[in-house]
Structure 1
């Protein structure tokens, strides 16, 4: 009887390990056209808790390490973390959308301007491609458009954002007219009068080497 029990326990352990091992063979990134898909699949908005009042732009600006005008050049991929296979066989994970952007003008911080860099946002097309997850109050970025982006550096130097109301679309008919947009003047003022946010901060690998 003891031998049978031991064999059962071993079988259960092997099965559990096999289940855990399945995650190693899962794709950790996929390529989507999120804007095109957003017209075909539902968007699910997730609520969250934040260090600042996300409805107060001066606080959001104070949270950011960088505030800048950028053109979105292209959507590169969607990356997934915390992947898991559910009992019904479906795979879920946390999506992050990665873009290629060009910084046109720094308002806070000193990122390299006029060259392509990578930028990520929390949220994007879910692993099964059947829905989009976004933070409540957030939006996907669209290639070819200009935005004021409020961003933070990660500990590994990556640049991104995980807070709603931190991507403000500019209604610029041409890329070189962004400074004429009313939002540009408004956010320049917010940078001058930001509400300081005390938190651990890091430096992006895309900072200009000329920064002192």
Structure 2
């Protein structure tokens, strides 16, 4: 079975598994609101098992989202339309500029902006937002615990449920003194829980890459 056929079958399966989020809306930075269409994913590890996620990931870190920069589209597939024409659809990936303020696993550059790629985002036709079930898109000017995967090109991918968890009680201005931010980081319950998960992580053997944003 060739790669083109496999990709079409995967696409068809994704469409079959899609669940429309009629009541959910995503507020975009341009003021538009988009319905969220969710789909089930098949993951190598249980996204609800924090120790398994920590073991599978290359990086676990606390980051501040400075801005959403763009949405890119990958894995294009041509499909037939109702009028016997064709249309190209592709998977959305949202690009953010993030400042790493604390490394929990791995050693990424801190205190300067680096790009991360989040699987999911506004579809190419600008009609809706595509996301996995139980997943969210990061919001600007908020802190998150990110679970990242180094890609072959050195970029960092954030993908799936619980790959970015908002620190809801961490209300610190990013321009505050580093000592204040570090004190807050050391006292945050969500961060402490993730640190313990990393310490007790369930290792998973797989091919791994190194991000070009690692600290030298």
Common fold, TM-score beyond 0.5? yes
In the TM superposition, residue 40 of structure 1 has moved relative to its aligned partner by 2.0
In the TM superposition, residue 201 of structure 1 has moved relative to its aligned partner by 0.6
1:145 aligns with 2:142: yes
TM-score when normalising by structure 2: 0.76
The residue that corresponds to 1:19 in the other structure is none
The residue that corresponds to 1:36 in the other structure is 28
In the alignment, the residues of structure 1 paired with residue 34 and residue 63 of structure 2 have an alpha-carbon distance, to the nearest angstrom, of 27
In the alignment, the residues of structure 1 paired with residue 204 and residue 38 of structure 2 have an alpha-carbon distance, to the nearest angstrom, of 25
The residue that corresponds to 2:215 in the other structure is 208
In the alignment, the residues of structure 2 paired with residue 86 and residue 76 of structure 1 have an alpha-carbon distance, to the nearest angstrom, of 29
In the TM superposition, residue 125 of structure 1 has moved relative to its aligned partner by 0.2
The residue that corresponds to 1:173 in the other structure is 171
Give the root-mean-square deviation of aligned CA atoms: 1.8
- The correspondence for 2:107, drawn from 97, 110, 119, is 110
Q: Structure 2: 5+ residue runs without aligned partners?
A: 1-25, 175-180
Structure 1 segments of 4 or more deviating over 3 A? 84-91
Q: Structure 1: 5+ residue runs without aligned partners?
A: 1-33
Local SS of the residue matching 2:70: strand
Aligned residues: 176
Summarize deviations over 1:117-163 as a string: whole Å, max 9, x none: 00001110000110000111210000100000010100111111222
TM-score when normalising by structure 1: 0.78
The residue that corresponds to 1:131 in the other structure is 128
In the alignment, the residues of structure 1 paired with residue 153 and residue 27 of structure 2 have an alpha-carbon distance, to the nearest angstrom, of 28
More strand by share: 2
Larger Rg: 1
Q: How does 1:9-158 map to 2 (within 5 A)?
A: 35-36=27-28, 40-88=33-81, 90-158=87-155
More helix by share: 1
- The correspondence for 1:189, drawn from 192, 196, 216, is 196
1:164 aligns with 2:161: yes
Local SS of the residue matching 2:190: helix
Larger CA deviation: 100-109 vs 164-173: 164-173
